[in-house]
Structure 1
Amino acid sequence: MSGPTPESELTSLERTALYKSLGNPLRRRILDYLGKHAEANSTVLARELGESSGTTSYHLRKLAEQRLIEEIPEKSGGRERWWRALPFTHTTPDPKTMAPDEHAAAEQLARLKIEVDTGLFRRAHEEYRGPEGWAQVQRAGTWMTKDDLHAFVRAYDELLDRFGHAPEDAPDGARHMNLRFYAAPAPVGEWTGEPTGP
């Protein structure tokens, strides 16, 4: 079974197609469903997402072409094809290096992510029940060099690997968690004494 193409090997055209796929609302819903439920076929997705099976089948094939999902051979037979999501990570390159079509697709995807993440940010505050609850909010400001920042990001990735679980290996009581990390230098003159916490 082949996995996703390493991001270092993606061409600008392939990245453009990837951003367009990830920015397609229905394809994102399909990927979200597979992420939460591990597997599905076009009929299941059609029922759960309120689409026709022909539509979900088309988008499943497109996602498979980009190696974002793969068929489950042991469950598939005849016209019934079952799918599962593939592990996927991608780091968007510097926008200054992008071709115009790639930049436009990346911007469209970024706008969609911002909308989704804004909703998640609101939910985290609304569902916050103290430091022992499921919803957690952390905001902080500090001084870092660029090397410090990059080391922090690597440590963040290591923490995700250390504490996260694949769906099939998740222990009892585990829930699918949405986590986001953003960091940007404060504008010159902006107050940086951000308190830690929600």
Structure 2
Amino acid sequence: MTDGTPEMTGLERTALYKSLGNPLRRRILDYLGRHGEANSTVLARELGESSGTTSYHLRKLAEQKLIEEIPEKSGGRERWWRTLPFSHTTPDPATMGPEEYAAAEQLALLKIEMDTRLFRRAHEEYRGPEGWAQVQRTGTWMTHEDLMAFVRAYQELLDRYGRPPEDVPEGARHMYLRFYAAPEPVGEWNSEPTGP
């Protein structure tokens, strides 16, 4: 479900996952996220593609409401684009049809690959507890209610300390943050129970 918007259908989610899994569209979204705005010519030059190709993918991203045209900068054939705020939570895979599940799985594999590189970079660039690169790993006992409250508090922290693109102070850097939580498998380890 996206923030404040109606529930997406399975077909809409399938199209979204396929779009987000497209390597060029991901690079376009990444560029717009870092630079704020661009047109097809700028993107073609920066990403090593033709302007016809970047223009096509920009239109497709706009159809899915991931980006929007900047009317005050656009004129004639020159159209400038910026990203739109977007949030999506993938539903329970058991509720997905085969095509949606396959698209979601492909996107998940792409994200895992990107996150693995990011995790390795964070370790390589770690310069102590006061540096830009930080790595935290821990484990604790929680009830399901505790976990849900923790996830909400994590989002509140992101909202409190994150800055929107139009309010970035000098010295700020774009940060990649990830949060994972997974219960230990139920079973035994050294003859001790690991779950209920």
Settle same-fold status: TM greater than 0.5.
yes
What SS class does the counterpart of residue 9 from structure 1 fall into?
coil
2:130 maps to which of 111, 129, 132: 132
- How big is each residue's C-alpha offset from its partner over 1:102-160, in whole Å with a ceiling of 9 and x where there is no partner? 00000000000000000000000000000000000000000000100010000000000
Aligned length: 188
CA shift, 1:172, in A, is 1.0
Letter in 1 for 2:72: E
- State the match for 1:196 in structure 2: none
In the TM superposition, what is the alpha-carbon distance from 1:58 to its structure 2 partner? Answer: 0.3
Q: Which residues of structure 2 form unaligned runs of 5+? A: 191-196
4+ residue segments displaced more than 4 Å: 4-8
Contact kept? 1:7, 1:90, Cα under 8 Å:
no
Matched with 2:94 is: 96
Structure 1 match to 2:11: 13
- Are the structure 2 counterparts of residues 190 and 51 from structure 1 closer, same or farther at C-alpha, using a change threshold of 3 Å? farther
Alignment counterpart, residue 64 of structure 2, candidates 63, 66, 80: 66
Query: CA offsets per residue over residues 40-77 of structure 1, 9 Å max, x none?
Result: 00000000000000000000000000000000000000
Q: How does 1:45-194 map to 2 (within 5 A)?
A: 45-187=43-185, 188-190=187-189
User: Structure 1: which amino acid aligns with 2:85?
Assistant: P
Q: Which amino acid aligns with 1:60?
A: L
- Once residues 163 and 6 of structure 1 are traced to their aligned partners in structure 2, the CA distance between those partners, rounded to angstroms, is 22
Q: Shift in Å at residue 8 of structure 1?
A: 4.2
Q: CA deviation at 1:88?
A: 0.4
Return the alpha-carbon distance in structure 2 between the equivalents of residues 64 and 5 of structure 1: 17
Structure 2 partner of 1:194: none
Q: Which amino acid aligns with 2:171?
A: G
2:59 maps to amino acid: R
Aligned partners of 1:83 and 1:190: how far apart in 2?
Answer: 53
Q: CA deviation at 1:7?
A: 5.4
TM-score by length of 1: 0.92
Unaligned runs of 5+ in 1: 192-198
Deviation at 1:170, TM superposition (A): 1.0
* 8 Å CA contact retained: 1:68, 1:88: yes
TM-score by length of 2: 0.93
Alpha-carbon contact 1:5-1:67 (below 8 Å) kept: no
Q: Please give the alpha-carbon distance, in whole angstroms, between the structure 2 residues aligned to 1:13 and 1:6.
A: 19
- Please give the root-mean-square deviation of Cα atoms over the aligned residues, in Å: 1.3
Q: Distance in 2 between matches of 1:145 and 1:59?
A: 44
Task: Tell me: higher relative CO, structure 1 or 2? Use CA pairs within 8 A at least 6 residues apart.
Answer: 1
- The secondary structure found in structure 1 opposite 2:188 is coil
